[in-house]
Protein backbone atom coordinates (compact mmCIF):
# COMPACT_ATOMS: atom_id res chain seq x y z
CA UNK A 1 0.00 0.00 0.00
CA UNK A 2 1.39 3.41 -0.92
CA UNK A 3 -1.12 5.77 0.68
CA UNK A 4 -3.37 5.30 3.69
CA UNK A 5 -6.28 7.60 4.40
CA UNK A 6 -7.14 7.74 8.10
CA UNK A 7 -10.77 8.78 8.45
CA UNK A 8 -13.64 7.50 6.32
CA UNK A 9 -15.41 10.79 5.71
CA UNK A 10 -16.35 12.47 2.45
CA UNK A 11 -12.98 14.13 1.82
CA UNK A 12 -10.77 11.17 2.70
CA UNK A 13 -12.87 8.85 0.58
CA UNK A 14 -12.75 11.25 -2.39
CA UNK A 15 -8.96 11.57 -2.13
CA UNK A 16 -8.62 7.78 -1.91
CA UNK A 17 -10.69 7.41 -5.07
CA UNK A 18 -8.66 10.03 -6.96
CA UNK A 19 -5.33 8.48 -5.96
CA UNK A 20 -6.48 4.95 -6.73
CA UNK A 21 -7.67 6.02 -10.18
CA UNK A 22 -4.14 7.28 -10.73
CA UNK A 23 -2.66 3.87 -9.93
CA UNK A 24 -1.89 4.13 -6.21
CA UNK A 25 -2.73 1.33 -3.82
CA UNK A 26 -4.85 3.05 -1.21
CA UNK A 27 -6.25 1.94 2.13
CA UNK A 28 -8.98 3.75 4.06
CA UNK A 29 -9.11 3.37 7.83
CA UNK A 30 -12.58 3.75 9.33
CA UNK A 31 -12.75 3.89 13.13
CA UNK A 32 -16.14 2.16 13.15
CA UNK A 33 -15.81 -1.54 12.20
CA UNK A 34 -19.44 -1.64 10.99
CA UNK A 35 -18.74 1.29 8.65
CA UNK A 36 -15.57 -0.37 7.34
CA UNK A 37 -17.46 -3.63 6.75
CA UNK A 38 -20.29 -1.84 4.93
CA UNK A 39 -17.81 -0.01 2.69
CA UNK A 40 -16.00 -3.25 1.85
CA UNK A 41 -19.28 -5.06 1.16
CA UNK A 42 -20.90 -2.38 -1.00
CA UNK A 43 -17.80 -0.87 -2.59
CA UNK A 44 -19.16 2.56 -1.64
CA UNK A 45 -19.19 4.98 1.30
CA UNK A 46 -22.93 5.42 1.53
CA UNK A 47 -22.70 7.23 4.88
CA UNK A 48 -20.49 10.10 3.77
CA UNK A 49 -20.11 10.06 -0.01
CA UNK A 50 -23.15 8.27 -1.42
CA UNK A 51 -23.44 7.19 -5.02
CA UNK A 52 -19.71 6.92 -5.78
CA UNK A 53 -18.03 3.56 -6.45
CA UNK A 54 -14.67 2.86 -4.82
CA UNK A 55 -12.06 1.54 -7.27
CA UNK A 56 -11.19 -2.11 -6.59
CA UNK A 57 -7.69 -1.18 -5.47
CA UNK A 58 -9.09 0.72 -2.46
CA UNK A 59 -9.20 -1.43 0.66
CA UNK A 60 -11.10 -0.48 3.80
CA UNK A 61 -10.44 -1.67 7.33
CA UNK A 62 -10.97 -0.67 10.95
CA UNK A 63 -7.56 -2.06 11.89
CA UNK A 64 -5.19 0.91 12.08
CA UNK A 65 -2.10 -1.28 12.43
CA UNK A 66 -2.64 -2.68 8.92
CA UNK A 67 -2.15 0.80 7.42
CA UNK A 68 0.91 2.23 9.10
CA UNK A 69 3.35 0.63 6.68
CA UNK A 70 2.05 2.98 3.97
CA UNK A 71 4.57 5.56 2.79
CA UNK A 72 2.19 8.45 3.33
CA UNK A 73 -0.73 8.82 5.71
CA UNK A 74 -3.51 11.31 5.03
CA UNK A 75 -5.28 12.44 8.20
CA UNK A 76 -8.80 13.15 6.97
CA UNK A 77 -10.58 13.77 10.26
CA UNK A 78 -12.52 16.77 11.51
CA UNK A 79 -10.20 19.41 12.97
CA UNK A 80 -11.41 19.18 16.56
CA UNK A 81 -10.60 15.43 16.56
CA UNK A 82 -7.05 15.73 15.24
CA UNK A 83 -5.16 16.46 18.46
CA UNK A 84 -6.61 13.57 20.43
CA UNK A 85 -6.25 11.23 17.44
CA UNK A 86 -2.55 11.98 16.89
CA UNK A 87 -1.82 11.88 20.62
CA UNK A 88 -3.53 8.53 21.10
CA UNK A 89 -1.72 6.97 18.14
CA UNK A 90 1.61 8.84 18.43
CA UNK A 91 3.69 5.68 18.81
CA UNK A 92 2.12 4.10 15.71
CA UNK A 93 2.47 7.28 13.64
CA UNK A 94 6.07 8.07 14.69
CA UNK A 95 8.45 8.83 11.82
CA UNK A 96 5.74 8.76 9.13
CA UNK A 97 4.76 11.41 6.58
CA UNK A 98 1.48 12.76 7.94
CA UNK A 99 -0.59 14.99 5.69
CA UNK A 100 -3.43 16.76 7.50
CA UNK A 101 -6.49 17.10 5.29
CA UNK A 102 -8.55 19.16 7.71
CA UNK A 103 -9.34 22.85 7.91
CA UNK A 104 -9.53 24.72 11.16
CA UNK A 105 -7.96 25.86 14.42
CA UNK A 106 -8.00 23.61 17.45
CA UNK A 107 -10.28 25.12 20.08
CA UNK A 108 -8.36 23.78 23.06
CA UNK A 109 -4.85 24.81 21.98
CA UNK A 110 -5.29 27.50 19.28
CA UNK A 111 -3.04 25.40 17.03
CA UNK A 112 -3.39 24.52 13.35
CA UNK A 113 -3.01 20.99 11.96
CA UNK A 114 0.76 20.92 11.35
CA UNK A 115 1.54 22.39 14.78
CA UNK A 116 -0.70 19.75 16.34
CA UNK A 117 1.15 16.97 14.51
CA UNK A 118 4.56 18.46 15.41
CA UNK A 119 3.60 18.71 19.06
CA UNK A 120 1.97 15.30 19.42
CA UNK A 121 4.28 13.32 17.16
CA UNK A 122 7.55 15.26 16.71
CA UNK A 123 9.33 12.58 14.69
CA UNK A 124 6.69 12.68 11.93
CA UNK A 125 6.95 14.87 8.82
CA UNK A 126 3.95 17.21 9.00
CA UNK A 127 2.20 18.61 5.93
CA UNK A 128 -1.22 19.92 5.03
CA UNK A 129 -3.37 19.49 1.94
CA UNK A 130 -5.93 22.26 1.59
CA UNK A 131 -7.62 24.46 -1.00
CA UNK A 132 -10.82 24.78 -3.02
CA UNK A 133 -12.27 21.32 -3.62
CA UNK A 134 -15.56 19.67 -2.81
CA UNK A 135 -15.26 15.96 -2.09
CA UNK A 136 -18.05 15.23 -4.56
CA UNK A 137 -16.19 17.07 -7.35
CA UNK A 138 -12.95 15.19 -6.66
CA UNK A 139 -14.80 11.87 -6.57
CA UNK A 140 -16.40 12.62 -9.94
CA UNK A 141 -12.94 13.21 -11.42
CA UNK A 142 -13.57 16.91 -12.06
CA UNK A 143 -10.45 19.10 -12.30
CA UNK A 144 -9.27 20.47 -8.94
CA UNK A 145 -6.24 22.44 -7.72
CA UNK A 146 -5.04 22.32 -4.12
CA UNK A 147 -2.16 23.56 -1.98
CA UNK A 148 0.30 21.13 -0.40
CA UNK A 149 2.17 22.89 2.38
CA UNK A 150 5.19 21.41 4.12
CA UNK A 151 7.91 23.34 5.93
CA UNK A 152 10.54 20.90 4.60
CA UNK A 153 11.04 21.70 0.92
CA UNK A 154 12.21 18.26 -0.27
CA UNK A 155 9.55 16.38 1.66
CA UNK A 156 6.94 18.78 0.27
CA UNK A 157 8.14 18.23 -3.29
CA UNK A 158 7.96 14.44 -2.83
CA UNK A 159 4.42 14.67 -1.45
CA UNK A 160 3.39 17.02 -4.25
CA UNK A 161 4.40 14.52 -6.89
CA UNK A 162 3.04 11.52 -5.00
CA UNK A 163 -0.40 13.04 -4.41
CA UNK A 164 -0.94 14.88 -7.73
CA UNK A 165 -2.95 13.29 -10.51
CA UNK A 166 -3.78 14.60 -14.00
CA UNK A 167 -6.99 16.15 -12.60
CA UNK A 168 -5.91 16.83 -9.00
CA UNK A 169 -3.16 19.43 -9.37
CA UNK A 170 -1.16 20.21 -6.25
CA UNK A 171 0.72 23.49 -5.89
CA UNK A 172 3.40 23.55 -3.21
CA UNK A 173 4.51 25.98 -0.51
CA UNK A 174 6.62 25.92 2.65
CA UNK A 175 4.24 28.43 4.24
CA UNK A 176 2.24 26.03 6.41
CA UNK A 177 0.84 28.86 8.55
CA UNK A 178 -0.54 30.65 5.49
CA UNK A 179 -2.06 27.53 3.95
CA UNK A 180 -3.72 26.37 7.14
CA UNK A 181 -4.94 29.78 8.32
CA UNK A 182 -6.42 30.47 4.87
CA UNK A 183 -8.31 27.16 4.95
CA UNK A 184 -9.42 27.65 8.54
CA UNK A 185 -10.58 31.26 8.33
CA UNK A 186 -12.39 31.02 4.99
CA UNK A 187 -14.89 28.65 6.63
CA UNK A 188 -15.73 31.34 9.20
CA UNK A 189 -16.32 33.90 6.46
CA UNK A 190 -18.39 31.32 4.53
CA UNK A 191 -20.71 30.99 7.52
CA UNK A 192 -21.08 34.78 7.50
CA UNK A 193 -21.76 34.74 3.74
CA UNK A 194 -24.44 32.11 4.30
CA UNK A 195 -26.02 34.28 6.99
CA UNK A 196 -26.09 37.24 4.59
CA UNK A 197 -27.86 35.25 1.87
CA UNK A 198 -30.13 33.38 4.32
CA UNK A 199 -31.23 36.66 5.87
CA UNK A 200 -32.06 38.06 2.42
CA UNK A 201 -29.41 40.81 2.46
CA UNK A 202 -28.43 40.22 -1.17
CA UNK A 203 -25.48 39.46 -3.41
CA UNK A 204 -23.96 42.95 -3.08
CA UNK A 205 -23.75 42.53 0.70
CA UNK A 206 -22.16 39.11 0.22
CA UNK A 207 -19.50 40.60 -2.08
CA UNK A 208 -18.75 43.27 0.54
CA UNK A 209 -18.58 40.64 3.27
CA UNK A 210 -16.25 38.41 1.24
CA UNK A 211 -13.94 41.34 0.50
CA UNK A 212 -13.79 42.58 4.07
CA UNK A 213 -13.56 38.96 5.20
CA UNK A 214 -10.54 38.41 2.98
CA UNK A 215 -8.92 41.55 4.43
CA UNK A 216 -9.56 40.15 7.90
CA UNK A 217 -8.20 36.69 7.03
CA UNK A 218 -5.06 38.23 5.56
CA UNK A 219 -4.55 40.61 8.49
CA UNK A 220 -4.79 37.81 11.00
CA UNK A 221 -2.72 35.27 9.07
CA UNK A 222 0.08 37.74 8.28
CA UNK A 223 0.20 38.85 11.94
CA UNK A 224 0.65 35.18 12.85
CA UNK A 225 3.54 34.66 10.43
CA UNK A 226 1.88 33.77 7.11
CA UNK A 227 2.88 35.19 3.73
CA UNK A 228 0.46 37.49 1.94
CA UNK A 229 0.85 35.59 -1.35
CA UNK A 230 -0.28 32.35 0.29
CA UNK A 231 -3.49 34.03 1.42
CA UNK A 232 -4.00 35.29 -2.14
CA UNK A 233 -3.63 31.73 -3.46
CA UNK A 234 -5.72 28.58 -3.65
CA UNK A 235 -5.84 27.89 0.08
CA UNK A 236 -6.99 31.43 0.96
CA UNK A 237 -8.71 33.50 -1.70
CA UNK A 238 -9.49 30.47 -3.89
CA UNK A 239 -11.21 28.52 -1.15
CA UNK A 240 -12.96 31.64 0.15
CA UNK A 241 -14.58 32.20 -3.24
CA UNK A 242 -15.67 28.56 -3.57
CA UNK A 243 -17.07 28.24 -0.07
CA UNK A 244 -18.88 31.59 0.06
CA UNK A 245 -20.62 31.09 -3.27
CA UNK A 246 -21.69 27.46 -3.37
CA UNK A 247 -24.58 25.74 -1.68
CA UNK A 248 -22.44 22.57 -1.79
CA UNK A 249 -20.56 24.06 1.17
CA UNK A 250 -21.71 22.89 4.59
CA UNK A 251 -20.34 26.04 6.21
CA UNK A 252 -22.31 28.21 3.80
CA UNK A 253 -25.47 26.11 4.30
CA UNK A 254 -25.12 26.30 8.08
CA UNK A 255 -24.80 30.10 7.89
CA UNK A 256 -27.77 30.21 5.53
CA UNK A 257 -29.88 28.30 8.07
CA UNK A 258 -28.79 30.71 10.82
CA UNK A 259 -29.68 33.70 8.64
CA UNK A 260 -33.05 32.26 7.69
CA UNK A 261 -33.85 31.22 11.28
CA UNK A 262 -34.00 27.54 10.33
CA UNK A 263 -32.61 24.45 12.07
CA UNK A 264 -29.50 22.58 10.91
CA UNK A 265 -28.52 18.91 11.24
CA UNK A 266 -25.99 18.84 14.12
CA UNK A 267 -24.31 15.69 12.74
CA UNK A 268 -22.99 17.56 9.69
CA UNK A 269 -19.32 18.60 9.88
CA UNK A 270 -19.20 22.43 9.99
CA UNK A 271 -15.57 23.31 10.71
CA UNK A 272 -16.12 27.08 10.78
CA UNK A 273 -18.29 26.93 13.90
CA UNK A 274 -15.59 25.85 16.38
CA UNK A 275 -12.91 27.63 14.38
CA UNK A 276 -14.77 30.97 14.68
CA UNK A 277 -14.49 30.71 18.43
CA UNK A 278 -10.87 29.51 18.32
CA UNK A 279 -9.90 32.29 15.86
CA UNK A 280 -11.72 34.96 17.84
CA UNK A 281 -9.87 33.93 21.04
CA UNK A 282 -6.51 33.71 19.24
CA UNK A 283 -7.00 37.12 17.61
CA UNK A 284 -7.97 38.67 20.91
CA UNK A 285 -4.86 37.25 22.63
CA UNK A 286 -2.70 38.56 19.78
CA UNK A 287 -4.34 42.00 19.56
CA UNK A 288 -5.71 41.48 16.00
CA UNK A 289 -8.97 43.14 14.91
CA UNK A 290 -11.36 40.50 13.46
CA UNK A 291 -14.89 41.93 13.64
CA UNK A 292 -16.54 39.44 11.23
CA UNK A 293 -14.98 36.44 12.99
CA UNK A 294 -15.99 37.79 16.41
CA UNK A 295 -19.55 38.21 15.18
CA UNK A 296 -19.70 34.69 13.69
CA UNK A 297 -18.40 33.27 17.00
CA UNK A 298 -21.08 35.20 18.90
CA UNK A 299 -23.82 34.09 16.46
CA UNK A 300 -22.80 30.43 16.64
CA UNK A 301 -22.88 30.61 20.44
CA UNK A 302 -26.29 32.32 20.33
CA UNK A 303 -24.91 35.37 22.12
CA UNK A 304 -26.28 37.74 19.45
CA UNK A 305 -29.18 37.56 16.99
CA UNK A 306 -28.73 37.96 13.23
CA UNK A 307 -30.20 41.52 13.23
CA UNK A 308 -27.88 42.47 16.12
CA UNK A 309 -24.84 41.05 14.28
CA UNK A 310 -25.70 42.93 11.07
CA UNK A 311 -26.33 46.16 12.99
CA UNK A 312 -23.02 45.81 14.87
CA UNK A 313 -21.03 45.31 11.65
CA UNK A 314 -22.78 48.13 9.77
CA UNK A 315 -22.35 50.63 12.59
CA UNK A 316 -18.58 50.28 12.90
CA UNK A 317 -16.73 53.58 12.39
CA UNK A 318 -16.12 54.53 8.74
CA UNK A 319 -12.46 54.14 7.82
CA UNK A 320 -10.00 53.98 4.93
CA UNK A 321 -10.14 50.80 2.81
N1 LIG B 1 -16.03 17.37 2.31
C2 LIG B 1 -15.33 18.22 1.60
O3 LIG B 1 -15.74 18.61 0.48
C4 LIG B 1 -14.01 18.70 2.07
C5 LIG B 1 -13.61 18.53 3.39
N6 LIG B 1 -12.41 19.02 3.80
C7 LIG B 1 -12.00 18.89 5.19
O8 LIG B 1 -11.86 17.52 5.52
C9 LIG B 1 -12.04 17.36 6.93
C10 LIG B 1 -12.97 16.16 7.12
O11 LIG B 1 -14.19 16.53 6.52
P12 LIG B 1 -15.14 15.50 5.81
O13 LIG B 1 -14.42 14.31 5.36
O14 LIG B 1 -15.89 16.25 4.80
O15 LIG B 1 -16.09 15.15 7.03
P16 LIG B 1 -17.19 14.02 7.17
O17 LIG B 1 -18.19 14.54 8.11
O18 LIG B 1 -17.66 13.58 5.83
O19 LIG B 1 -16.40 12.81 7.81
C20 LIG B 1 -15.67 12.89 8.97
C21 LIG B 1 -15.19 11.49 9.25
O22 LIG B 1 -14.29 11.52 10.34
C23 LIG B 1 -14.58 10.44 11.18
N24 LIG B 1 -14.12 10.76 12.53
C25 LIG B 1 -14.58 11.73 13.34
N26 LIG B 1 -13.88 11.72 14.48
C27 LIG B 1 -12.96 10.74 14.37
C28 LIG B 1 -11.96 10.23 15.22
N29 LIG B 1 -11.74 10.75 16.42
N30 LIG B 1 -11.21 9.21 14.78
C31 LIG B 1 -11.43 8.68 13.58
N32 LIG B 1 -12.36 9.11 12.72
C33 LIG B 1 -13.12 10.13 13.12
C34 LIG B 1 -16.09 10.30 11.11
O35 LIG B 1 -16.50 9.02 11.51
C36 LIG B 1 -16.32 10.54 9.64
O37 LIG B 1 -16.20 9.35 8.89
C38 LIG B 1 -12.63 18.67 7.44
O39 LIG B 1 -11.65 19.39 8.14
C40 LIG B 1 -13.02 19.41 6.19
O41 LIG B 1 -12.92 20.83 6.31
C42 LIG B 1 -11.55 19.65 2.96
C43 LIG B 1 -11.91 19.84 1.65
C44 LIG B 1 -13.14 19.37 1.11
O1 LIG C 1 -13.50 23.07 2.25
C2 LIG C 1 -14.33 22.81 1.41
C3 LIG C 1 -14.19 23.21 0.00
O4 LIG C 1 -12.90 23.59 -0.30
C5 LIG C 1 -15.59 22.15 1.82
O6 LIG C 1 -16.38 23.11 2.38
P7 LIG C 1 -17.45 22.72 3.50
O8 LIG C 1 -16.72 22.06 4.63
O9 LIG C 1 -18.07 24.04 3.87
O10 LIG C 1 -18.45 21.82 2.85
| Share in percent of the chain as helix, strand, coil (round to 5) | 55, 15, 35
**Residue of 59, 54, 83 lying closest to 70 (CA atoms):** 59
For a substitution probing ligand 1, which of 32, 269, 270, 271 has the most ligand atoms within 8 Å of its CB?
269
Q: Per the annotation, does 172 bind a ligand?
A: no
Complex ipTM: 0.99
pLDDT at 47: 97
- Per-block mean pLDDT, blocks of 10 residues, the chain (321 long): 94 98 97 98 97 96 91 96 97 95 98 98 98 98 98 98 98 98 98 97 96 97 98 98 98 97 97 98 98 97 95 86 86
Tell me the ligand closest to 36's alpha carbon: 1
Q: Given phi > 0 = left and psi -120 to 50 = alpha, else beta, which region is 270? A: beta
**Residue of 251, 91, 247, 92 lying closest to 183 (CA atoms):** 251
Residue 186 annotated in active site: yes
pLDDT at 209: 96
Work out the angle at residue 265's Cα, subtended by the Cα atoms of residues 264 and 271, and round it to the nearest 5 degrees.
85
pLDDT at 206: 96
pLDDT at 133: 98
92 near 102, Cβ under 8 Å?
Answer: no
pLDDT at 71: 84
Distance CA 318, CA 252 (A): 27
pLDDT at 68: 81
Q: Per the annotation, does 63 bind a ligand?
A: no
For residue 97, how many C-alpha atoms fall within 13 Å in the half-sphere facing its CB? 23
pLDDT at 36: 98
pLDDT at 258: 96
Amino acid sequence: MTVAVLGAGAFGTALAIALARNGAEVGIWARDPAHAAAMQATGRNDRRLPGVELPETVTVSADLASFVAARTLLLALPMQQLDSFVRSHAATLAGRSLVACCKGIDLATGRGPTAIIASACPSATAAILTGPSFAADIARGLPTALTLACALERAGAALQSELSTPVLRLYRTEDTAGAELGGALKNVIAIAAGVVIGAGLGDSARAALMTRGFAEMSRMAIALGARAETLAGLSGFGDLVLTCTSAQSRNFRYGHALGAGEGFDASVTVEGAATAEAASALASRSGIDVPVTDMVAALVRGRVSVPQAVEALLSRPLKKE
